[in-house]
Amino acid sequence: AGRGWLGAMVGSMVFWGLANPFSDIAMDELSPAQTYGIEVTTGLASFLVIVLLTPSLRARAHNIDWRLAAPLGLVMPGLCFYLGNVGYMFASVTTGVILLSTEAIFTALGGVWALGEKLPVRSIVAIVDQHAGSSLDECGGSGDCDSCRADGLAA
């Protein structure tokens, strides 16, 4: 069983690594909003198939408050995917991935809002630090203003 999980994890890493450059390529033909629609639709379909095929998840699905879960899913990771698509379109794969990683910000805010957690200063500093270097990714004196705007959003 351990070897099967290792293979699944390696496969996931490989496919995730390939997905980002392919998303960047898709931006040549699709807008960030169109790509977001595809991502949300396929993500929801995949989630529903997994729930339907997994008896333990199917048994617990009735406990989910969908009025809360659906909007949260659209914001996080949905908004993160949209921001990543903006980065792919206007800058680079690296900037897209940095914007996609804003999930940490939305997770922290969700914890504060939904769970009443208090964010310690060190957590706030860590989240800001995670995103601070993104403005260095593309602009470096190239004069490419589209890249600077996307990197400014990332920062």
**pLDDT at site 95:** 80
> CB-based contacts of 42: which residues, under 8 Å, 6+ apart?
none
Considering only CA atoms, which of 98, 74, 79 is closest in space to residue 88? 98
Check pLDDT > 50 for residue 143: no
**pLDDT at site 140:** 52
Give me the amino acid identity at 135. S
- Which pLDDT tens digit goes with each residue over 38-53? 888 888 888 888 888 8
CA distance 4 to 26: 32
**pLDDT at site 122:** 92
CA distance 5 to 11: 10
CA distance 22 to 97: 12
Residue 121 confidence class, pLDDT cut points 50, 70, 90: very high
